[in-house]
Amino acid sequence: MLSALDIHEIGEIIRKVRKEKGLRLEDLADKNISPATISNIERGIPHVNPQRATYLLQKLDIRLEDIPNLMVQEKEALHDLKFKLFAIESTRDAGNPDQALRQLKGLQVDDSHPYAAKIYYLLGTCLNKLTQFERAQRLLFDAIRLSNQNPYGKKNNIAAASFYELGLNSYHHHRLEQALAYVENGLEAFVDDGEGTHLKFKLIENKAVYLEHLERVGEALKIIEDHWDAALVSQHIDTILGFYTWRSELLSRLQQYDAASAFCLAGIEIARINKQHNRLFNLWTILANIHMSNSQWKKAEECFQVALTLKSSTLHQKDLAHAHMRLSTLYIQQERWEKSLGSINQAISLYKLIKDMPRLADALTTLGKYYCIQKNRHTAITHFQEALDIAHKYHLLNKKVDILFLLARCWENIDRKQFQLCLNDMYKVKHELTADE
């Protein structure tokens, strides 16, 4: 009896010989075997009757004694392609997605090939990195479709990886609910005994990120806590530090500052030992935020100074923007007005550059607060209104409530009609939030 793996490898041989002979599925079909069954055999579907595979071998004049040698040749060809894809993936991750894309386009592989799903996935990831999001999305859906038709695709967790990338795609377009749905699909599709164990933790981490951006902070913390022990034994340093980063951040958001500080310091030590500068930057910034929340301004400034010495060419601009944003708040508390304004404007420029609209709304709100302190209420109103427009466009309801309150305070002694309009709008948004609950 042929095993599932034998059937898959023989299916590859049948597909290859059929194509070499220039035959379509319909040309090979007869009253004993249908095109659909031939397709299933070629794709290595495990439940296919092995006798049908033997029948096809006879029809294609493939002798049984030649099978072992043909299987060796097919294994070598698959191994060579697997290595080539591994090299292309490294090229992409080294910051050369355009070069990786050219190499992938040079591969002559049809949709029935075992690595077709992997190739579609890699094409999609390269296009994601090149910000060609619509093309990337189509290819990633193709990767999911093909991976579900092929044992190799399932074993390699191509569907889960593609959902992860689709989540990033939606996140870039500020479709947070859709991004969350994709990572949940990815977690459902993930095969635990397949390849890429670190992928599961990347999906979990991004689920926490999307929940946090949706202001569902408690849920975000719970998912990190639920998978904490498994993440720490994963032996993937970026996974471990990602979990330390988000546990610290989320605990801080929930005002559990002592616990947040403890996890943050532990993460800093791990990142320092392993020379993970990007994670160090994030963790020192979070620690600065914790000290700010406790009104420990000197310690907070020291933390920011350490973080900013860790800037590297690979540092994400959003992380740098976030650090400048928090630093501006620190300077406001210290009444260092010029430095504060400089940091706010740097953050705003970076958020506009990377199109992080929720954070841009926060930065514009902070700029409005700055001008309120300076008694320049008309300028403050301008920036609050910009922030409100963003919050409205991207359905950031909690932010809308906060901004409307700040606008109402500005209008209170300037224009009672505008003041009342802000209060009315604030009530409507509050009502909408209550309805959503």
The percentage of the chain sitting over the pLDDT mark of 90, rounded to a whole number, equals: 64
Mean pLDDT of 324-331: 92
Confidence of residue 96 (pLDDT cuts 50, 70, 90): very high
Task: Tell me the Cα Rg of the chain.
Answer: 28
12 part of a folded domain: yes
Q: What pLDDT does 49 receive?
A: 75
Mean pLDDT of 323-343: 93
Phi/psi of residue 40, each to 5°? -60, -40
116-129 and 158-172 helices cross at what angle (nearest 10)?
20
Q: How far apart, in whole angstroms, are the C-alpha atoms of residue 200 and residue 227?
A: 10
Q: How far apart, in whole angstroms, are the C-alpha atoms of residue 85 and residue 170?
A: 26
Structural tokens at position 257: 């500052």
Q: What pLDDT does 72 receive?
A: 81
Q: What pLDDT does 262 receive?
A: 98
Residue that wins the pLDDT comparison between 406 and 174: 406
256 part of a folded domain: no
pLDDT per position as a tens digit, 217-238: 999 999 999 999 999 998 899 9
Q: What pLDDT does 22 receive?
A: 85
Nearest residue to 212 (alpha-carbon basis) of 247, 173, 184, 182: 247
Which DSSP letter does residue 113 get? S
Q: What pLDDT does 48 receive?
A: 72
pLDDT greater than 60 at residue 337: yes
pLDDT greater than 80 at residue 211: yes
pLDDT per position as a tens digit, 23-74: 888 888 888 888 888 888 877 776 777 788 888 888 888 877 777 777 788 7
Q: What pLDDT does 395 receive?
A: 85
398 part of a folded domain: no
Q: What pLDDT does 311 receive?
A: 66
Instruction: Report the CATH number at residue 39.
Output: 1.10.260.40
Q: How far apart, in whole angstroms, are the C-alpha atoms of residue 39 and residue 27?
A: 12
52 part of a folded domain: yes
Q: What pLDDT does 312 receive?
A: 60
pLDDT per position as a tens digit, 114-156: 899 999 999 999 999 998 999 999 999 999 999 988 777 678 8
As a whole number of Å, the end-to-end CA separation of the chain is 57
- Total Cβ atoms within 10 A of residue 431: 10
Residue 46, helix vs strand vs coil:
coil
Q: Please, which residues bridge with residue 33 across strands?
A: 30
pLDDT greater than 90 at residue 241: yes
pLDDT greater than 50 at residue 184: yes
Confidence of residue 291 (pLDDT cuts 50, 70, 90): very high
Contacts by 305-314, CB closer than 8 A, 24 or more apart:
307/280, 307/281, 310/277, 310/280, 310/281, 310/284, 311/281, 312/277, 312/278, 314/277, 314/278
Structural tokens at position 134: 């619509």
Q: Is 314 exposed, middle or buried (0-12, 13-18, 19+ CB in 10 A)?
A: exposed
Nearest residue to 307 (alpha-carbon basis) of 135, 294, 166, 292: 292
Q: How far apart, in whole angstroms, are the C-alpha atoms of residue 320 and residue 267?
A: 19
Q: pTM of the prediction?
A: 0.77
CA-to-CA dists, residue 144 to 24, 81, 120, 203, angstroms: 25, 20, 9, 16
Secondary-structure breakdown of the chain: helix, strand, coil percentages, each rounded to the nearest 5 = 80, 0, 20
Q: What pLDDT does 47 receive?
A: 73
Give the range of the structural domain holding residue 21, as residue numbers without chain letter: 4-62
Q: Structurally, how many domains does the chain consist of?
A: 1
H-run or E-run covering 420: helix 416-436
Q: What pLDDT does 436 receive?
A: 64
Q: What pLDDT does 355 receive?
A: 86
Tell how far CA 381 is from the center of its chain. Answer: 35
Q: What pLDDT does 42 receive?
A: 79
Amino acid in the structure at residue 190: F
pLDDT greater than 50 at residue 3: no
Mean pLDDT of 325-332: 92
Contact 260, 223 (CB under 8 A): no
Q: What pLDDT does 313 receive?
A: 52
Contact 368, 387 (CB under 8 A): yes
238 part of a folded domain: no
Residue 245, helix vs strand vs coil:
helix
133-147 and 116-129 helices cross at what angle (nearest 10)?
160
29 part of a folded domain: yes
Mean pLDDT of 365-388: 96
25 part of a folded domain: yes
Which DSSP letter does residue 2 get? -
pLDDT greater than 60 at residue 417: yes
Q: What pLDDT does 139 receive?
A: 97
The most confident of 191-200, 220-229, 307-316, by mean pLDDT: 220-229
41 part of a folded domain: yes
